[in-house]
Structure 1
Amino acid sequence: MTFLPLNDADAASVHTVKEGDSLYKIGQTYGVSVLSLKSINQLKSSTIYPGQELKLPEKITDEEFDLLARLVHAEAKGEPYAGKVAVATVVLNRVDHPDFPNTIKDVIYAKDSGYYAFTPVANGQIDLPADEESKKAVKEALAFRGQGNGSLFFYNPKTATSGYVATREVTVKIGNHVFAK
């Protein structure tokens, strides 16, 4: 799935910049990345002006957003907000990486050696509704898509059963989770 429209006809809609807007704020509002906003509007910097019209790139579907928010809620319940953003970022990084499926749904439901990649899929927690903080974390991850440390994995060292993830390069530790690439 690509998130950068190929031409003007592919742009979903337009946002007219208001006083106090930033590319990050616009990205969070519409669930699109700052990088794709800059790309589609051919911006060389992050400077925008009130009254300026910005084309909006394609965003993920409502179903994908809900699924990702439910995964974040199930995987990072009780973790700091930054950890929730990082969990969503791992899924988005996998979508963008050639070694993983290219849709949010396919990444979340992927199996490796017969096991689901994410525990909440296996134990049914993925079916529980997401809380508002998890939804907010997904919006932030979408806005900053492509600008993180490239994390493709996360695990809790106290509960992880696979030694493979522990061999990966650690990118950040947040709460009880270790993120790696």
Structure 2
Amino acid sequence: MKKIKMAMLACVTSLSLFSFYPHAEASAAVHTVKAGDTLWKISAQYGVTTQKIKTANKQSSNMIYPGQKLYIPQAAISEADKDLMARLVSAEAKGEPYAGKVAVATVILNRLSSPDFPNSIREIIFQVEGGHYAFTPVQNGAIYNAADAASKKAVNEALGFWGQGNGSVYFYNPNTSTSKWIFSREVTVRIGNHVFAK
């Protein structure tokens, strides 16, 4: 009898979740808003855009309040892809300001959204261009080193704002770059030692 009651309770709980959050998936999360939370902080925590959170909760404004329950849609990027991105960011933007780390992660996401680049994070990071890997850390093996905490956070922040940047799909250090072609690209922003371009 006790097992039947437990099964019924689990069923009712699951039905309640789906009635409050109509787009809920079994692997998605429900976040209870705490004092000090913002949509941006929540999106960065889960690696989902603020717009997707608003859409999933049928919310048009950025206003949230403590105690509010927000359905968090499943992230489009797997944990393995996020780790790979963080390792690339860690190697490419070592010693760069935090904003530069976010910008490097954003370049990867912008490439994923572009028809001019491969269709997966892994293929983008390991892409070969002109007989060389597109990213130096892949060429020299630094991609296999663990990512630091700031790089992991930067990846989540980039995911939170995915699609809202200025379209950078390249970055380079003008002091060390030898490619004349890269200097011909339209500059979007300069952060630290990197120039970002499209």
Scaled by the length of structure 2, the TM-score of the pair is 0.82
What is the deviation of 1:22? 0.9
Map of 1:169 onto structure 2: 186
Q: How many residues align?
A: 175
SS of the equivalent of 2:180 reads coil
The answer to whether the aligner puts 1:16 opposite 2:23 as a matched pair is no
**Equivalent residue, structure 1, for 2:18:** none
What secondary structure, in the 3-state scheme, does the structure 2 residue paired with 1:55 have? Answer: strand
Residue in 2 that maps onto 1:33: 49
- Residue 130 of structure 1: which of 139, 142, 147 is its match? 147
- From the two aligned structures, give the one with the greater helix fraction: 2
Q: Is the CA contact (8 Å cut-off) linking 1:35 and 1:146 kept in structure 2? A: no
Match of 2:123 in 1: 106
Q: CA deviation at 1:9?
A: 4.4
Which stretches of structure 1, 4 residues or longer, exceed 3 Å deviation after superposition?
none
Deviation (angstroms), 1:113: 2.3
Normalised by the size of structure 1, how large is the TM-score? Answer: 0.89
Q: Distance in 2 between matches of 1:58 and 1:41?
A: 13
Larger CA Rg, structure 1 vs 2: 2
Using the TM superposition, give the Cα deviation of residue 27 of structure 1 relative to its aligned residue in structure 2, in angstroms: 0.8
**Structure 2 unaligned runs (5+)?**
1-21
**1:3-82 to 2 correspondences below 5 Å:** 8-10=23-25, 12-59=28-75, 60-82=77-99
Q: Which runs of 5+ in 1 are unaligned?
A: 1-6
Counterpart CA distance in 1 for 2:55 and 2:121 is: 22
Given that 2:24 and 2:71 are in contact with CA atoms closer than 8 Å, whether structure 1 keeps it comes out as no
Structure-2 residue corresponding to 1:4:
none
Alignment RMSD (CA, Å): 1.6
Which 10-residue stretch deviates more, 34-43 or 134-143?
Answer: 34-43
Hey, what's the Cα distance between the residues in 2 that align with 1:96 and 1:40? Answer: 21
Tell which deviates more after alignment, 89-98 or 156-165. 156-165
Native 8 Å contact 2:32 2:66 kept in 1: yes
Partner of 1:148: 165
